Amino acid sequence: MQSMKREQWGIALRQEPEFQLATAGSRIAWVLDYPHMSEWLKQALRAANGLDLMAMQNDIEMLRHLIMPEPRPR
């Protein structure tokens, strides 16, 4: 079994949702405590506390599309 490649262990290598949430929570706490982070971002994170995570992810993706223009075809 030790000879299995990482790709074959795909399911076993995925992080549990609880671990992902804890990691995100500690990162958010760091941003909120960091004195040089923008107040806009801090307010957005505070306002998002307790919201549906999938809805937040969709909103973040929308912001990414608004801010980062798609490359033009050559």
Q: Where are the domains of the chain?
A: 6-67
Concatenating the DSSP letter of every residue in 26-72 gives HHHHHHHH-TTS-HHHHHHHHHHTTS-HHHHHHHHHHHHHHHSPPPP
Distance (Å) of CA 32 to CA 35, 56, 62: 8, 17, 23
How do residues 11-60 score in pLDDT, each as one tens digit? 555 678 777 777 888 888 999 999 999 999 999 999 988 888 788 888 98
The predicted model scores a pTM of: 0.60
Rg (CA), the chain: 18
**CA dist., res. 13 & res. 29, Å (int):** 26
